[in-house]
Amino acid sequence: MTFKAKDNHNNPIIIGRNDDDYHGVRAVIGGSNSHLLFITYSKNNISVFDFNIFQFIKDDTLPTNDIIRSHCFVSKSENGQEQEMMKINQDKIKQNCEMLLFKYNTGLSIDYDEDSNTFQFHQLPVCDDVAPFCRYAYVCVNDIILFFGRYDWR
In terms of average pLDDT, the best of 47-51, 53-57, 95-99 is 47-51
From 121, 118, 114, select the one nearest 99 (Cα to Cα): 121
What is the pLDDT of the chain when averaged over all its residues? 80
More confident residue, 91 or 42: 42
pLDDT at 3 over 80: no
Q: What is the pLDDT of residue 80?
A: 41
- Distance (Å, rounded) from C-alpha 107 to C-alpha 72? 10
- Spell out where the chain has E strands: 3-6, 12-15, 26-30, 36-41, 45-50, 55-61, 72-75, 84-87, 93-103, 106-113, 118-123, 137-141, 144-148
Q: Are 104 and 111 in contact (CB under 8 A)?
A: no
Q: Are 134 and 149 in contact (CB under 8 A)?
A: no
Preceding omega of 43 cis (within 30 degrees of 0): yes
pLDDT at 153 over 60: no
More confident residue, 71 or 11: 71
Percent of the residues in the chain that have a pLDDT greater than 90, as a whole number: 33
Confidence of residue 86 (pLDDT cuts 50, 70, 90): very low
pLDDT of 89-109, one tens digit each? Answer: 444 555 788 999 988 889 999
pTM: 0.79
Q: What is the pLDDT of residue 17?
A: 66
Q: Are 70 and 21 in contact (CB under 8 A)?
A: no
pLDDT of 5-21, one tens digit each? Answer: 677 777 776 676 666 67
Mean pLDDT of 123-133: 84
More confident residue, 18 or 78: 18
Helix (H, G, I), strand (E, B) or coil at 142: coil
Residue ranges covered by each domain of the chain: 3-148
Helix (H, G, I), strand (E, B) or coil at 135: coil
